[in-house]
Amino acid sequence: MQTLFSNFSIASRAVFMALSLSAVCASSLAQTKPPGAFATVNGVAVPQSLIDTNVKVNVAKGQKDSPELRQVIQDELVNREILAQESVRLGLDKTTEAQAQWAQARQTFLVELLLNDYVARNPITDATLKTEYERQMAQLKDQQQYLLSLIVTSTEDQAKAVLARLRKGEAFAKLATETSIDPSKKDGGSVGWVLPAQILPAISNVMVNLAKGALAAAPIQTSAGWNILKLEDTRPFKAPTLDEAKNEIRQVLVQKQRFDYVKKLRENAKVVQ
């Protein structure tokens, strides 16, 4: 130790000792963390379960569970606890507006807990999926599918300008990539094969009357913006297999299940307005 200190100034020794003491204190604090907590912030325990929950969410979105991911989540949770404590210290949680927002957030959380619990206790069976699949395929077997491309702009003037460029011969995919605000821009504006019932009537009513390769005569306004349509092709409905369709069908059945459950609870509730 003497050899190590011989290269340090008095000031450096003081810093070194302070850092050493800090490390000892941190180690001591780490040893006093309550069970199930990964950290304490100003004496408040931050549970390990929060890390595990956030890891699951990120993995579900395609990220890999790794020490690096867990460290980022851990740092974020500590920061959030610090900020939350400061908000409480300033009394921001006591305002009327804050209390109303908190009540609504709590209510939303409890609603999702209830509906998710109901679905978990009443899972959609494979037999139900198969029955619904067969019902839908029977209804769709005689319908026509349309291969649609789309460019969406924020204003009518922008849409008219793009439409004029298309009429002069510029490639639809190129202009979609450059000018569209729709997610389909990454695919050159291609929406893929659609049924009229799958899209807004304002668009489908025009789409079904277009010839193959034709552009809509004018931009169509929807809540998303001003839409320029191009019909690439048509074909008789091509039925997906049960395996290909089951996830989408399951989502539809779950939504109906949730709706029916809410309706039943509402019918049995005493509501005075």
Q: Does residue 17 carry a pLDDT above 80?
A: no
Question: In this structure, what DSSP letter does residue 161 have?
Answer: H
| Mean pLDDT value across residues 124-128 | 95
Helix or strand holding residue 52 (H, E) = helix 48-60
Residue 33 has a pLDDT of: 77
Give the tens place of pLDDT for each residue, 248-271.
Answer: 999 999 999 999 999 999 999 999
Residue 46 to residue 83: CA distance in whole angstroms: 13
Structure token digits, residue 17: 């000792």
Structure token digits, residue 151: 């460019």
229 within 8 A of 209, measured Cβ to Cβ: no
SS3 state of residue 43: coil
CA dihedral 60, 64, 67, 71 (to 10 degrees): -50
SS3 state of residue 228: strand
Give the tens place of pLDDT for each residue, 214-252.
Answer: 999 999 999 999 999 999 999 999 999 999 999 999 999
Q: Does residue 22 carry a pLDDT above 90?
A: no
Q: Where are the domains of the chain?
A: 18-90, 95-141+242-273, 144-236
pTM tops 0.85, yes or no: no
Contacts 24+ apart (CB under 8 A), 38-42: 38/74, 38/77, 39/74, 39/77, 39/78, 41/78, 41/81, 41/82, 41/85, 42/82, 42/85
pLDDT band at 5 (very low <50, low <70, confident <90, very high): very low
Angle, to 10 degrees, between the axis of helix 156-167 and the axis of helix 172-179? 160
- The answer as to CATH 3.10.50.40 being correct for domain 144-236 is yes
Give the tens place of pLDDT for each residue, 189-200.
Answer: 999 999 999 999
